[in-house]
Amino acid sequence: MKKTLSGFFVILLFVSLAVLAGAVAMYAYQELSGSQNENSSVHIPFIPSKQESSREYSRIGGASADTSQKDVDFSAHAYDALVNENLRVLYEKLDESVYRISDEMTDDGRYKTKTVEVEGAEFSSDDINIAINAYLCDHPEVFWIDNYFGYHSGKNKTYVECYSVLSGNQCELYIKSFNEALSEMLSGITAADGEYEREKILHDKLLDKCSYKKGVDSIDDGWQYFSAYGAVVEGQAVCEGYSKAMMLLLRLAGVDSVTIRGMGEGEENVPERHMWNLVNLGDKWYQLDSTWDDSDETDHGYDFFNLTAESMGTDHTPDPIIDESAVSEDSSYNFFIPECDSVDMNYYYREGVVVSGLDDKADDDIADKVYDLYTKGEHLLYILIEDDVRYDDFMNVMLKNGGHRFYDCIERVNNYVGKAVFDTSHCHLTENARRRTVRIKLSDPES
């Protein structure tokens, strides 16, 4: 099954279509920082529904709104990964169920969605979990589904009901706020922007809008932090919220993207559950971690902007591709991981300076970039030191311990321009030795 999204050249139409589409958020399906596996829902006893009627369930409007254009065709990657045809049927039926939500709260504070019936199949709990997870991975528009489901299987039939953290009436209000926030973030993107430019604009807007929510261990601490809703409306999220918001924004802007689950080894070198993105640009896939690009500093980071799998593998380990026959309650998996081996759209290779030796070429490249920043009225220089150069050697020769070659490069630019455009004795450094990068904020000359 293919999901077709609007092409970029109708970008002005995206905003209105987002509103018509009803819900543009990807649900926080599972807590990444919690003890429970993020691919696993919790099975609760199946509660037979009362008489199915439109009065029992609120229908969230716009569930089947047509956002298709012929020029951009995005695959539903998790759906495509399902081998079992009956699981695909269940996946498809969920598309109706999640938009039919009861306004009557259950005893444990949830709201049932309309029961799904699949004939000709008797599913296990693991089977159902796979189908629900695949559906939510593919759909950046459902943020209200909780990580619980009920089911009954027998006599060659299976009944499944999901649960929402919001009532149908509440959902309508949340969706309205979310669509407005998305529309604002998509504004300003034009047909003149290429795929890379669209990605960078949205990456920067997300980092400006959202900050990392610390002290959150599970959905019980706030479901919104694990959703795109939390990232773009409330401006607070954990890695799952960042990644789902990034996926959604990119797809609305005509760029294919998915989320990827795995482990991330942060500053304290302790592996933790993590989520980031895969992005398709020019028929090549790249890895993007907007969460780790964010920081308390006002300047944007790009250390994790369109990396190869090898480069990202320094501190990111993806979960394996799903094997339906081997999935269990403790499994953690991905549905889709394409090859990522290009640096064409990596930020440093496109907009920074890549140093491959401590030679005249490095000085020339730095001086050329400093001059380019001057002509644009910018002050931030991003440098990547390749593996052939020892990181400490570069820093000592260029910037530290008496090293002055970087300031000599600035002096060359000042002399070329005919006036002091940047200070030749002071700048602000942000280092990442593990990623082999340095961000330099050039200073204006002292008056």
Domains of the chain: 17-168 (no CATH), 172-346 (3.10.620), 352-442 (no CATH)
pLDDT per residue rounded down to tens, the chain (447 residues): 434 334 443 343 343 334 334 433 332 223 333 334 567 666 555 555 544 443 467 666 533 223 333 344 578 999 999 999 999 999 999 998 999 999 999 988 999 999 999 999 999 999 999 999 999 999 988 999 998 899 999 999 999 999 999 999 999 999 999 999 999 999 999 889 999 999 999 999 999 999 999 999 888 899 999 999 999 999 999 999 999 999 999 999 999 999 999 999 987 788 999 999 999 999 999 999 999 999 887 889 999 999 999 999 999 999 999 987 787 766 789 999 999 999 999 999 999 999 999 999 999 999 999 999 999 999 999 999 999 999 999 999 999 888 899 999 999 999 999 999 999 988 999 999 999 999 999 999 975
Write the DSSP assignment of 78-127 as a string of letters.
HHHH---HHHHHHHHHHHHHTTEEEEEEPTTS-EEEPPEEEET----HHH
Question: How many CA atoms within 13 Å lie on the side-chain side of 272?
Answer: 15
Cβ atoms < 10 Å from Cβ of 38: 22
Inter-residue contact 382 to 352 (CB < 8 Å): yes
Q: What is the pLDDT of residue 294?
A: 95
Nearest-angstrom CA–CA distance, 383 and 381:
7
